[in-house]
A and B are shown apart, each in its own frame.
Chain A
Amino acid sequence: MSDEYENKSGYQAQSSETISGDSPGISPDMDYVRPAENAEQDLYHPHSFIEKWVFCQDAKVIGVQYFLTAVFTGVVGLILSWLMRLQLGFPGLAGFITAEHYYQFVTMHGMIMVVYFLTALFLGGFGNYLIPLMVGARDMVFPYVNMLSFWMFFVAVAVLMASFFVPGGPTGAGWTLYPPQTILEGTPGHGYGILLMLISLALFVIGFTMGGLNYMITILQARTRGMTLMRMPLTVWGIFTATVLAMLAFPALLVSSIMMTLDKLLGTSFFMPTILKAGEVLEYGGGSPILFQHLFWFFGHPEVYIVALPAFGIVSDLISVHARKNIFGYRMMVWAIVGIGALSFFVWAHHMYVSGMNPWFGFFFASTTLIIAVPTAMKVYNWILTLWRGNIRINTVMLWCLGFIVTFVNGGITGIFLGNVSVDVPLSDTYFVVAHFHMVMGIAPLMVIMGAIYHWFPLVAGKMLNEKLGKWHFWTTFLGAYSIYFPMHYLGFIGVPRRYYEMYDSPYMTSGVGLNEFISTAAFIVGAAQLILVFNIIKTLKTGKKAEQNPWKANSLEWFTSTVPPEHGNFGDRLPVVHRWPYDFNVPGADEDYLPQTAAPSEVAHTEVEKT
C-alpha cells in the first residue's frame, strides 16, 4: 500500500457510463501493470509414472507428498501420545509400558510432532502447494532441488522410524536432548537410538534448507506481474517469514547435532564436563551442558514461530474469506508477522530461567518475551475485528478458525505466565508447561491445519468435503482437546512435575488422579475422532459433490487456475496479472461480494476500492 492510501481516495465511485465511452475522466493507464522482468520459467514435464508421482518436480505433488509423509509421522506421534496417556491415566494397566518405554514415547512424540509433523506439514506441505499458486508462479524456481528436498525429508523420516527397531530402541532423552544424559547409560536408547535421531535431524535440516531456499526465492523473485509484496496473501507472508526463521535457526540445531555426535562417537567434550558414573570418572572434561541448551533453544524458540507464523497467515486468509470481509489492518498484520519473527531470535533463554545459566539473563529475556506479546496480541485483535461487522459463514472452515482463536488466546496468555521469569520458577517443569505449549503450538496450529484442509480440499481434489461430518469432526476435536489441556494447567499448579513415569502416592498428587483419568479418556476420544476426517475424505473422493471453480468465492490466485485441480504449470497459457490485494470483499459498489486479485480497475470502475 502506498501513501495514497492515507487520503482514502482510491478509485472514486464512477458511474458506469463514464467508463463505457472514451471519457477523458479515466486515465488510460488505469489498468497498467509493470511488464514482466524475466522470461517465463521452462518446466520439466514428466514422461513416466515415476516422474509424475514419485520423483516429481511439480511443487503441488511435492506438497502432497510432504503432507502425506508428515501426516504419517503425525499418526505415529498420536499413537505414542495414547500410550503415554494410558500410563499416566491408568498406571500399570498396560504392563508392557516400562519406564524406558515411557521415556522413549515422550521423546519420539515430542520430536515427531514439532519437527517432522508440524514443520514439515506447514512449510513442506502447505508451502509447496500454495506458494506458487498464490504468488502466480508456474512452479518453484528450483523444481529439481525441491524434489530432492522432499526425498531428503523422506530419508530423514525413514532413519527416525528405523530407530524404533535398533538394539536399545529409540532415544528416550526427552525431545530437548539435553546432554549429558542423552549419550550416557541411564537414558534409554543412548547407543544407536540417539545416533539415528541426530543423523535424522541433520538430514532433515539439509532437506529443509533445499526446500526453504526455494520458498524464499520463489516468493521474492517469481511473483507474477502486479503481485507486490504488500498484495501477497498473509498465508504467503507467514510461510515466507517462517522460512527465513528456519534458515537462520536450523543451523544451530545442525551444529549442536554434529557436536553431540562427536561427543558420542569420538569422545570430544563440547557438552560434557567431568562426570562420575558408577564410581568411575569418565573420559570427558571441560564441556558445558548449558552451551547445548543455548544452541538448542536458539533453534527451538524460533521453531515455535516457524510453526506459528504459517498458521497465523493461513488463519487470517480463512477468516477473511469466510467472514466475507477484508482482513482488518493488513499492514499491521504483515509487520506483526515480520516483527514476531525478528523478536523470536531474542527470547530463547526464557526456556532456561532455571537452567543454571547466569540468573541475571532473566531480566533481559523476560522483557523481550513479554514485548513479543504485543504484536501477537495485535494479531488476535485484528482477527476478531475482521469478524466484526462481517457477514460470517459459520461453516466447518470458520469453526476451525474460531476454535483456533479460543485455543490460541488461551495458550498465549499462559505464555505470559511462563515468560514472566519469577512466575516461571514455580511452574517450570510442571504440567502447566505441558498444557501451555500443547494448547498454543499443538492444538491451535492443528485447528488451522484442519481448517486449511477443509478450505483447500476442493482445490486439491476437486470435490467438496462433507459439511456435516466436518462439523462432528470439529466439535469432538475442539471440545475434546480443550478438555484435555485446559484442566491440565491445574495439575501444574498442584506442582506435578512433567516427564514422570509414575507419581506413586505423593500427597499433593493424589487429588489429581481422577483428573488424569479424565484427561486420558479425552485424549483417546480426540485421537479416534480424527477417523471422521479420514472417513470424510474417502467418502468424498468416492461419492462427493464435485467442486465448482472457486467454491468459497475467494480472491486469491490459487482459485483462478486453468483447471481444478490445477495442472502442472498452474495457470494455462497466460499467467494472471494482479491488480489488487486478496481481501476485497463486500466492496461498496461491487456487484458481487468479492473482487478477485485479477479484476482490473477498469472492469470494476464503479466501486469504491481503497488503493492497495
Chain B
Amino acid sequence: MHAGIIFLLVIIGSVLFHIFTPWYWTDIASNWQGMDDTITLTFWVGGGVFVAVCLFMVYCVFRYSYKEGRKAEYKPEDKKLEKILTWATTLGVAALLAPGLIIWNQYVNVPKNALEIDVMAWQWGWQYRLPGEDGKLGTTKVTNINDENPFGINIDDPFGRDDVLVQSDYINLENNKPVKILLRSVDVLHNWYVPQFRSKMDAVPGIVTFYWFEPNKVGEYEVLCAEYCGVGHYAMRGGVEVQNAGDYNKWLSEQETFDELIAKNELEFENKKLAKNNNLNLNKDIYKEE
C-alpha cells in the first residue's frame, strides 16, 4: 500500500516538476523554433505514455496486491490487445518521427542566400573568416598555416585574397540573415555551439562540415565547444554578437582582409629586414669604433 502511494507521488511530482520548473529552455534566438516545437510535441506524447504506463502500474499495485487464496488470472496471451497496442505505438512513433524528419530536411538544405562563414577551431580557440566582395571564400590547407597566414589560405586562389579575417573568439552576425557555418579543425574534434541558436555540428580535422541557422534576435551570446577536445574543452568559449544591418556593416568594414594582412606582413618583413640591416650596420659601426 505504501509502495503504491510513494510511486504515485513520484509520478505526480514528475509532472509538477515539469510544469513549474524554473530550469527550462534558454530563450531561442534563431529560426529553429521547429525543433522546440517537436520537443514540446514529444513531451506531450511521451509524457502522456509515461504517466499512463506508471499510473496503470500503480493501479495494479493497489488493486492486485497479494491476498492469500486469491487466484491470478491465467491468460498467457491476448492477440487482439497485443495487436492494438502494437499499431497504436507505431502510429504514435510515426507521428513524432514525421516532424523530426521534416525539420532535419530543412537543416541539411542550406538556403541559397546564406552567408558562408569559415569557423576554424583548434586547441583551444576559434577564429573566423568571411567572404570578401566576391562573395566567395578562398580554399585552404592545414599545411599552409603559419604566422603570416593564420587561416592557411591558398595564396594562388584569387577568391581568397579579399577574404575578411577575424582573428578573435568573437564574431558578429547580421540579424535575420541566414548563415552557413563551415567548420574546420586543425587538430581534434570541436563543435561550435550557441545554445540560443539550438543548432550544432562537429568540426572534424581533415574535412569541412556545415550547418546553418538564421539569427533573429539582436544580442550577445556565448559560444561553447560542444565536443570534447581535451583538457581545455570547458574553457573553449567564444562569443557572438547579433547586430542590425547598419551596425554589422560598420563592424565588417573595420575588419582586415587577407590582402591587407599580406601587405602588413610584407611591411613588417621589410621593417624587420631594415631593422636587421640597421642592426648589422650598427654592429659594424660598433665594431669599427672598437
Contact = CB atoms under 8 A, between A and B. Distances in A.
Is the A/B pair a real complex?
A: yes
Interface string B184-216: 001111010101101111111111010100000
A389 B231 contact: no
A391 interface: yes
Contact of A420 (B7, B38, B142): B38
A359 B108 contact: yes
Interface in B131-187: 142-143, 145-146, 183, 186-187
A325 interface: yes
B287 interface: no
A36 interface: no
Interface stretch (B72-80, B245-253, B254-262): B72-80
A354 B228 contact: no
A331 B35 contact: no
A425 B60 contact: no
A376 to B, nearest CB: 9
A374 B89 contact: yes
A115 interface: no
B218 interface: no
Interface in A390-411: 390-394, 399, 402, 405-406, 409-410
Interface stretch (B24-32, B111-119, B266-274, B277-285): B24-32
Nearest to B105: A363
Nearest to A607: B74
Interface in A179-234: 179-181, 184, 186-188
Contacts of B54: 405-406, 409
Given A180-B205, A508-B26, A421 B100 contact: yes
A107 to B, nearest CB: 10
A99 interface: yes
B100 A420 contact: yes
Interface in A366-388: 366-367, 370-371, 373-374, 377-378, 380-381, 384-385, 387-388
A222 to B, nearest CB: 27
A587 interface: yes
A583 interface: yes
Contacts of A332: 77, 82
B86 A181 contact: no
A553 B235 CA distance: 58
Contact of B195 (A275, A495, A502): A495
B49 interface: yes
Interface stretch (A145-153, A447-455, A485-493, A529-537): A485-493
Contacts of B90: 374
Contact of B77 (A323, A330, A421): A330
A73 to B, nearest CB: 23
Interface in A306-365: 323-326, 328-332, 354-356, 359-360, 362-363
Given A184-B230, A359-B107, A410-B50, A422 B100 contact: yes
A475 B6 contact: yes
Given A512-B23, A586-B72, A422 B107 contact: yes
B14 A390 contact: no
Interface stretch (A21-29, A60-68, A285-293): A285-293
A487 B230 contact: no
A290 B185 CA distance: 13
Nearest to B9: A479
A172 B205 CA distance: 20
B198 A425 contact: yes
A426 interface: yes
A416 B74 contact: no
Contacts of A612: 76
Given A332-B82, A356-B209, A391-B64, A515 B23 contact: yes
A178 B228 contact: yes
A499 interface: yes
B188 A425 contact: no
A305 interface: no
A406 B205 contact: no
Contact of B73 (A172, A184, A325, A392): A325
Contact of B42 (A276, A392, A416): A416
Contacts of B204: 289-290, 355-356
Contact of A354 (B122, B142, B201): B201
Contact of A281 (B57, B143, B227): B143
B130 interface: no
A325 B26 contact: no
A247 to B, nearest CB: 29
A354 B222 contact: no
B220 to A, nearest CB: 9
B103 interface: yes
Contact of B188 (A100, A180, A286, A499): A180
A289 B191 CA distance: 14
A276 B23 contact: no
A390 B72 contact: yes
A409 B49 contact: yes
A47 interface: no
A362 B108 contact: yes
Contacts of B188: 179-181, 184, 186, 275
Given A274-B206, A356-B203, A428-B200, A378 B82 contact: yes
A610 interface: yes
A44 interface: no
B127 interface: no
A406 to B, nearest CB: 6
Contacts of B19: none
29 contacts: A99-B231, A100-B231, A180-B205, A184-B188, A186-B123, A274-B206, A281-B143, A286-B206, A289-B189, A328-B75, A362-B108, A367-B97, A370-B93, A374-B90, A374-B93, A392-B61, A392-B65, A394-B4, A405-B53, A409-B54, A417-B42, A426-B195, A479-B10, A490-B21, A490-B24, A502-B234, A585-B72, A587-B74, A588-B71
Given A423-B100, A494-B25, 17 more contacts: A99-B232, A173-B228, A181-B230, A184-B188, A277-B187, A328-B78, A359-B107, A381-B53, A388-B73, A389-B72, A394-B65, A405-B57, A426-B32, A429-B200, A495-B224, A499-B234, A588-B74
**6 closest Cβ contacts across the A-B interface?**
A495-B195, A273-B206, A420-B100, A186-B230, A181-B188, A413-B46
